[in-house]
C-alpha cells in the first residue's frame, strides 16, 4: 500500500512560458499544510496529454524534490501505447517517484488479456508499486474483477484507482483481491462507500480545493467515526457536482483560480469553465474567508 487516506490528483498550473512552477509550489504547500497523504502528479487532472515529454519530466522532478519525502509522490505514466508507458515509468522511477498511476489504454482499447499483458510489461520494467486506474467513462475500457485478480499476482501491481461507478462491480473486485491490492476511490462522490468495502482512501479531484475536508473524511472513517465521515461526504456533494458539471479538470482549475492561485487556463482542446459563478458559490460554503 503506497498510502492510506487522501491522495490529491493535483492540477498543473500553466502560464505563457509553460508550467508555472511558482504556483505549483504554492499548490503543493496547500496540500502539505492541509493533511493530504499523497500527491499524484500527471493524472488526468494534471493534463499530461497536452504536455511535452520535457514538461512531464520537470513536473515529476519538481514534485519529488520539493515534497522531499514528506508524503509519497505518485506519477501518472499511463498511455495507450505500452512502449511509451514503459519509457515514462522508467523516467519516473529514475527521478525518484514513490509509485506509478497507470490509466487503462484509451481509444484503441484492448481485450482483458491485453490489459494484463500491458500492465505486466510496465510493472516488469521498474521496481515501483503500480496503481491500475480504471475510468471507463473516459477510456471506453472497463477492467473486470477477474482481471484484477490476475493483475494482483504481479508483486509490483499493488493498488487500484476505481472510477467505474458501479458499486456492485467494485464489491466483486474487493471480494476477489482482498488484501492483495489496495483500492482507492477514483470518484469523489463514492469515497465513503468504497472505503466501507475495504478501500484505503481516495485519489481525489475535489481535494485540490478542499484538502482538509477530504483528509478529515478519510481519517474519521479509519478512526471509526462513521457519523463524521458521513457528514463530510454529504457536505462535499454539492461542490463535487459542480466540479464535474463540465469535463474535468476544467472546473477544478477554475476553482483553484477562484481560490487565489494563478493556475492559468486549461490547455486546448479544453477551454475555460462556463460555471464560475456556481463554483464560487459552492466554494464559499466550504472555504472560510473566501
Q: How far apart are CA 82 and CA 85, in angstroms?
A: 5
CB neighbour class for 83 (10 Å; exposed up to 12, middle 13-18, buried from 19): exposed
Per the CB < 8 A criterion, the answer to whether 61 and 84 are in contact is no
Q: How many Å apart are CA 73 and CA 32, to the nearest integer?
A: 12
Task: Please tell me the distance from the alpha carbon of residue 137 to that of residue 193, in angstroms, as a whole number.
Answer: 19
**Residue among 248, 287, 271, 217 nearest 9 (CA):** 248
User: How many Å is the Cα radius of gyration of the chain?
Assistant: 18
Please confirm, yes or no, whether 161 is among the known catalytic residues.
yes
- On the question of a cis peptide bond just before residue 53, with omega within 30 degrees of 0, the verdict is no
d(CA 251, CA 258): 10
Q: Which of 133, 148, 184, 253 is catalytic?
A: 133
Of 178, 176, 222, 179, nearest in space to 202 by CA: 222
Output the furthest CA–CA distance in the chain (Å, rounded): 52
Rounded Cα–Cα distance for residues 157 and 225 (Å): 31
The partner residues of 14 in beta bridges, in order of sequence, read: 19
Active-site entry in 119, 161, 184, 253: 161
Cβ pair 2, 38 in contact under 8 A: yes
**Which positions are catalytic?**
133, 161
Amino acid at each position: 500500500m503506497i498510502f492510506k487516506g487522501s491522495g490529491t490528483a493535483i492540477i498543473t498550473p500553466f502560464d505563457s512560458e509553460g508550467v508555472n512552477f511558482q504556483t505549483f509550489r504554492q499548490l503543493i504547500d496547500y496540500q502539505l499544510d492541509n493533511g493530504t497523504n499523497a500527491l499524484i502528479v500527471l493524472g488526468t487532472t494534471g493534463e499530461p496529454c497536452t504536455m511535452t515529454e520535457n514538461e512531464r519530466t520537470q513536473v515529476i522532478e519538481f514534485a519529488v524534490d520539493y515534497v522531499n519525502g514528506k508524503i509519497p509522490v505518485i506519477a501518472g505514466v499511463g498511455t495507450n501505447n505500452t512502449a511509451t508507458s514503459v519509457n515514462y515509468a522508467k523516467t519516473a522511477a529514475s527521478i525518484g517517484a514513490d509509485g506509478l498511476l497507470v490509466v487503462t489504454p484509451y481509444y484503441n482499447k484492448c481485450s482483458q488479456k491485453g490489459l494484463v499483458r500491458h500492465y505486466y510489461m510496465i510493472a516488469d520494467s521498474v521496481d515501483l508499486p503500480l496503481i491500475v486506474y480504471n475510468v471507463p467513462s473516459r477510456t471506453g475500457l472497463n477492467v473486470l474483477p477477474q482481471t484484477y485478480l490476475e493483475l494482483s499476482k504481479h508483486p509490483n501491481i499493488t493498488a487500484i484507482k476505481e472510477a467505474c461507478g458501479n458499486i456492485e462491480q467494485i464489491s466483486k473486485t474487493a471480494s476477489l483481491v482482498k488484501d492483495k491490492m489496495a483500492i482507492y476511490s477514483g470518484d469523489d462522490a463514492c469515497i465513503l462507500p468504497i472505503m466501507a468495502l475495504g478501500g484505503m482512501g481516495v485519489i481525489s479531484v475535489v481535494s485540490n480545493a478542499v484538502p482538509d475536508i477530504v483528509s478529515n473524511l478519510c481519517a474519521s472513517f479509519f478512526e471509526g467515526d462513521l457519523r463524521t465521515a458521513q457528514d463530510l461526504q454529504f457536505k462535499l456533494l454539492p461542490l463535487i457536482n459542480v466540479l464535474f458539471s463540465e469535463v474535468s479538470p476544467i472546473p477544478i482549475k477554475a476553482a483553484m483560480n477562484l481560490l487565489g492561485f494563478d493556475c492559468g487556463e486549461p490547455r486546448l482542446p479544453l477551454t475555460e469553465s462556463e460555471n464560475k459563478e456556481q463554483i464560487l458559490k459552492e466554494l464559499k460554503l466550504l472555504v472560510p474567508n473566501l
